Amino acid sequence: MDLSVSLVAREASQGHGPSPGVGLNSLPRPAPPKVAKKPKKGVLFFEVEILDAKTREKLCFLDKVEPHATIAEIKNLFTKSHPQWYPARQSLRLDPKGKSLKDEDVLQKLPVGTTATLYFRDLGAQISWVTVFLTEYAGPLFIYLLFYFRVPFIYGHKYDFTSSRHTVVRFILAGFDQKSSCFPNASGFSHGTMPLRNIFKNCTYYWGFAAWMAYYINHPLYTPPTYGAQQVKLALAIFVICQLGNFSIHMALRDLRPAGSKTRKIPYPTKNPFTWLFLLVSCPNYTYEVGSWIGFAIMTQCLPVALFSLVGFIQMTIWAKGKHRSYLKEFRDYPPLRMPIVPFLL
């Protein structure tokens, strides 16, 4: 008998061998060695230091800020230590004299290290755009009505609570009412704010011009336009077309960015013919706005209205040029034929 077979038989008789019917190949094998799991990489947190942009005084130090935190979230964290500076009042920037960072900017995408230094500027007390509308836009309508109904101490006692006999004056009242009511419905700005100090300057401008225009338009000695009804009808057509165009542009700009989206896009014409002006200018809403005031000036044939239209054109040209430069800087494929506000000219 072979020696190896006898050894197996002996182990089996002692209860150490394999079970009956089980071959040598079925003996239990040693367990494979466990593979060590790779440790998870830890999150690299940022440290954010916020300094006063004027004095360089340290205002706040935020530890363990997540890299994907936005500027809006950092503002909320800053407010916890300085409640008097709510987010809408804050301007955070990378350089004390630089531009304000956008709320949607992400911390890790900014040109900063893991210890980021941001500079804070106080924008001052803020008010909602609803309040802005009620003061800047509804205010002139109220002022105009005082002159339209000729309340006492304006034109003399014999004209108290009378109204102009000219039909064009009633058209002008309707135009004032339309311009004061359409703006908030089209813009959708209910969640924005504006510095409180600006409202005093703006109200002086809007209310002052409204009173000056209303005084002459509703004056007892006011005379209708030179060419009568034909001039009024032409001006009214210009005014209505431009108002419809302005409304259409606001709708197109509102639909350009879906609710909750921060993506910026180049505005293009839609199926609405009034938006085709986008082919030639960057800010057709300003173009239509100027056009409506030109129609208003032709309708009234009044010097204060013409001066208001001119001042408004100058201011809106400045805004349009700034917006146009912003588009050119942000979008490399921006349409080259567009001008800021006046096709082919300006």
* CATH code for position 59: 3.10.20.90
pTM: 0.71
Same domain? For 104 and 146 the reply is no
Among 108, 124, 140, identify where a domain stops: 124
Give the residue from 245, 254, 255 showing the smallest Cα distance to 275: 245
Judge whether 159 lies within some domain. Answer: yes
Strand partners, 126: 195
Cα–Cα distances (Å) from 106 to 97, 245, 258, in that order, read: 20, 37, 20
**Does some domain include residue 9?**
no
**Judgement on whether residues 164 and 244 belong to the same structural domain of the protein:** no
CB 180 within 8 A of CB 137: yes
In the chain, how many domains are there? 3
- What stretch of H or E contains 204? helix 196-217
User: Do 135 and 199 form a contact (C-beta atoms < 8 A)?
Assistant: yes
Domain match, 281 and 232 both: yes
Q: Are residues 231 and 325 in the same domain?
A: yes
pLDDT tens track of the chain, all 346 residues? Answer: 444 444 444 544 455 544 444 444 545 566 666 655 554 455 678 899 999 999 999 998 998 888 889 999 999 999 998 999 989 899 999 998 888 898 888 888 898 888 889 999 998 888 887 788 778 778 888 899 999 999 998 998 899 998 888 888 887 887 766 665 554 444 444 446 778 888 888 888 889 998 999 999 999 999 989 998 899 999 999 999 999 999 999 899 888 876 666 677 899 999 999 999 999 999 999 999 999 999 999 999 999 999 999 999 999 999 999 999 999 998 999 999 999 999 999 8
Q: Are residues 170 and 240 in the same domain?
A: no
Please give the Cα distance from 113 to 78 (Å, whole number).
19
* 47 class by beta-carbon count within 10 Å (0-12 exposed, 13-18 middle, 19+ buried): middle
Domain that holds residue 88: 49-124
